[in-house]
Structure formats: C-alpha cells, structure tokens
Structure 1
Amino acid sequence: MDAHDTTITTLAERPELRDALWGMKTTWPAYVPHDPVGWLLMGRIAAELSEYVLVATDAAGEVIARGFSVPFALRAEGRGELPDRGWDQVLLWAFADLRHGVTPDTVSAIEITVDPGRLGQGLSHRMLAAMRENARARGFAEVVAPVRPNAKHLEPAVPMSEYAFRTRPDGLPQDPWLRVHVRAGGTIEKVAPASMTVSGSVEQWREWTGLPFDTAGTVTVPGALSPVRCEPELGHAVYVEPNVWVRHPLTK
C-alpha cells in the first residue's frame, strides 16, 4: 500500500463512513467489547464527538483504520492525576463533562485499530500522528493515552509495572506499541492497574474463549494482558486489564 493512497479524516467530515467504521475487521478478543463502560459509551463517541473520531480509507474508499479520542477536563476539581482506572475512568469523565458543559483541557486517546490485512504498513503510526494533530488543531496542549501494549499478552503473568518500563539497548520501550508512542513524542508516566474490567458468568467466558473455566484461580486467556480470575463455585470470572498512561505534549 502506498501511503499516498491513504486518506485520514474525521468522522465529522465524512459521516457517511459511520457504518463502515463499525464494520471494519479488528483483532480485538471477543471478551473486550463486554467491558460495560465501553459497551455503553463507544457508540456515543461516534454519535456525539465525531470530530474526535478518525477514519482512514484506501484508494478504493475502504475503511482500513479508525481512531477514537475524547476531550475531557483532567484539571477539574477532584482530578488532576491520570486515573488508576484508566480507559474506563477517562470515558466516564469525558461524557460527564459533556453532559454538564465542563470545558475540556485535555484529549485522551481511546482506541487506534488497524484492519488486520493492513498491519505492518505503518498505519498505526500515521493514525497516532493524526490524532495528535487533530487535538493540537482544536487548541489542546496535550494528548494522553491509556495504552494497551500490544505484546504484553505474550507475558500475562508479568506485572505491568515491570513490563511497561522495559527498554531496549537504544533506550526505547521493548513493547512495539509503547515504542510507537515514545517515538511520536510521548512519555510513559504510570500504570493504570484497573483500566478495564470485564466480568461474566463462566458460561459467557466459555463462549468468548472456548476454554473450560471449571477450575478456581487464574486462567490464561489468549489476548489478555493479565490472567482472568475464575470462581466456578460462584459461577463467574473477572478480567481486570492494566494499561499504561502515556503523555503526549503538543506544540502549538
């Protein structure tokens, strides 16, 4: 794919792409969309904050990548620190601020997803750059991101507090997606230990993963960044996902 054949716009500029945006193939594990905060609010980003949604199309007009972000007031009273509840909390703050007319001071990345057939072509880099530029053009001085490191699932038992700060000999993060953020100008700040929570019955987890979920304790689930806690006698299992907060200062 020639980079010049890719067009990145906001959904506000091309609202006709909304259905294609949701129809794009992704690599998300089946259980991730069952985080209740995301289930409730992701659709509202496209509907109510479409100027913060990015859509990449190829020369044929097919949607090949998407990016969601939200504006929120990080410096509002009672906030100030990037939250331990990461992804979930920033979504709740953003829509609370929108409802109450609170002026935002920061943009948070929520998702950057590339069509599986287009991976390895530099699209994630371009989408992150476009998200930063979109926020800068709207007058913001900072983008923050609760990053889901894309190789962490290979080591689910390793604490994120260890994994997130591993570096290569050149000083860049060992994790590929964290490395993209740092190369783009971001700084790793802290771990969000409870960024997303997915709970369900053991029957639901069996359906999502194809695993038996019949033994008490931790279960290693494909794609998960940490083990899932299974309580078969109680009939449920819970996944609490850690993410990594990265700050991106923007130049005017």
Structure 2
Amino acid sequence: MDLRISTLAERPHLAGEVGNMPTAWPEFMLNDPIADLYYTVAATAYPEFVVVATADGRLAAKAMSVPLQLDDGPLPANGWDGVVMRAWRTRLRGDRPNAVSALEISIRPDLLGRGISGVMLDALREQAAGLGFAELIAPVRPNAKHLEQSTPMSEYAFRTRDDGLPNDPWLRVHVRAGGTIDSVAPRSMAIPGTLNQWRRWTGLPFDRTGPAEVPKALNPVHVAVEEDHAVYVEPNVWVRHALR
C-alpha cells in the first residue's frame, strides 16, 4: 500500500477527517473526561504533532502526540490523563516543552493487520526528532491485555518470548522500533459514568455491585449499583523512545 505521510500542519484540510475517522476503539474508551483537553484543540494548537497517512486520497491512519514540560524523575503514574493535563498546563502557562508523548495511533478498521501501526510509530519518532526532542514517551495500551483482565499489568507488561521481545504484540512493535519498557502507569485513564451510560456504551446490564469484565477493557470495571455509577481505571505501560 502506498501511504502518503505528513503532519496536520502540512495538510490542515484533513482536520475534519482526523476527528471523524472510524477506529476500532470500544465506545467506553471514547468517554475519558480528560480527553477534551487535547482533542478539542489538537488541530489548532498541536498540528505539527499530529501525523496523518492517506491512501488513495482517503485518510488511512493517524498518530497523535503532544508536547509538554515534564519534571525529572519517574514518569507519571496517571499516564495518559497525566500527559494531557500537563500538556494543557504547559500551553496555558506558555512554558517551553521538554518532552513529547504519543497519545494515540489509530488505523482505519478496514486496513488493520497490514503493519501500518509500526509505520505510524516510526513517523511519530521521526517527527519528534525533527522538532528537536531527544525522546518520545508513550503510555502504551497493550493490545492483548484485554484477554487477561485479572492479570496485574505489572506482571503482564514484562512478559517476554524466547527471543527476548515482549509477549504483547503492540509492546513488541514499540520495542522493535527502538523503545524501552520503563514502568507501569497504574491509573493512566479514569472513565466514570452512570450505570445507564455504561449500559449504553457496552450493552451490558451492570446490575451487580463489584468488578465487571467488559469486552476490550484491560481490567475489570468497578460497579456500585447502590451509588448508580461505575468507574474504569486503566493501567498503561510507559515506553521510552530515545531519539538521539
């Protein structure tokens, strides 16, 4: 497949397609309340950090990232949400960013399984390096973890195959691209909702208090029927990509 890869800054007319491109994300993952701090301004505030790929004149994939000011020390335990909030604060204060974090790589569903995700990751790395950054960090969502929701991420993330590469396919793509698994972000995303919202997002009854396994979730959702709410707290895996 012949992909034309650029940034949204170079092709701003694709902004609408970027926002509306079909993806394979489960609906509940589209309801993180922190996400609007990024997605509502991504096309105007961070266009050079949004990488797009087209094929036959149509948007095929997008890779979203964001610049931020990051303190020395361990990467934040609140992972994806933490990056978005720090990036918002960096922009609001007019601070100079010293890091770039990947946020999302999505492929059009009819093009999955063709290796495009690795191409987009390489493009994100190249773009961050070209903008002068020494490192790309990523709160990675391992794409086979949903098959083992009861397994702690601290165990799952560091499993390797006989060849030493990660057992998880998406983590393996990152390591092959030059990334290093750093740590677990135990509360990378928090998605709260009423029981009716969760029923609408998942089609499940949510009629019992306690943990509930939801398809495509990485660990169980916490349900409180008497309080009429459920909360999903997703762990991710921090990966560092040295660019110099």
TM-score, shorter chain, exceeding 0.5: yes
Is this contact kept in 2: 1:191–1:244, CA < 8 A? yes
Match of 1:24 in 2: 21
Is this contact kept in 2: 1:194–1:241, CA < 8 A? yes
**Residue 103 of structure 1 aligns to which amino acid in structure 2?**
R
Is this contact kept in 1: 2:50–2:62, CA < 8 A? yes
**Distance across 2 between alignment mates of 1:96 and 1:185:** 29
TM-score (ref. length: structure 1)? 0.95
TM-score (ref. length: structure 2)? 0.98
Match of 1:145 in 2: 138
Q: Which runs of 5+ in 1 are unaligned?
A: none
**Distance across 1 between alignment mates of 2:126 and 2:70:** 19
3-state DSSP of counterpart to 1:238: strand
Match of 1:6 in 2: 3
**Distance across 2 between alignment mates of 1:23 and 1:238:** 26
Per-residue deviation, 1:41: 2.2
Pairing 1:230–2:226 present: no
* Mapping for residues 180-219 of structure 1, pairs under 5 Å: 180-219=173-212
Per-residue deviation, 1:203: 0.7
**Distance across 1 between alignment mates of 2:137 and 2:11:** 25
Percent identity (aligned)? 55
Per-residue deviation, 1:39: 3.0
**Distance across 2 between alignment mates of 1:224 and 1:242:** 10
Out of 51, 57, 61, which is 1:61 matched to? 57
179-188 or 45-54, which deviates more:
45-54
- After superposing on structure 2, the runs of 4+ consecutive aligned residues of structure 1 that deviate more than 3 Å are none
Match of 2:109 in 1: 116
* Mapping for residues 79-94 of structure 1, pairs under 5 Å: 80-94=73-87
**Distance across 2 between alignment mates of 1:110 and 1:9:** 17
**Distance across 1 between alignment mates of 2:88 and 2:43:** 12
Match of 1:33 in 2: 30
**Distance across 2 between alignment mates of 1:195 and 1:46:** 23
**Residue 129 of structure 2 aligns to which amino acid in structure 1?**
R
Out of 162, 168, 171, which is 2:164 matched to? 171
Alpha-carbon RMSD across the aligned residues, in angstroms, is 0.9
Match of 1:71 in 2: 67
**Distance across 2 between alignment mates of 1:22 and 1:38:** 13
Q: Which runs of 5+ in 2 are unaligned?
A: none
Out of 27, 32, 43, which is 2:40 matched to? 43
Match of 1:125 in 2: 118
**Distance across 2 between alignment mates of 1:132 and 1:40:** 23
Is this contact kept in 1: 2:37–2:88, CA < 8 A? no
**Distance across 1 between alignment mates of 2:178 and 2:51:** 20
Is this contact kept in 2: 1:33–1:39, CA < 8 A? no
TM-superposition CA deviations, 1:63-118 (whole Å, max 9, x none): 0100110111113xxx5321000000011111111111111111100000011111
**Distance across 1 between alignment mates of 2:208 and 2:44:** 42
**Distance across 1 between alignment mates of 2:199 and 2:131:** 44
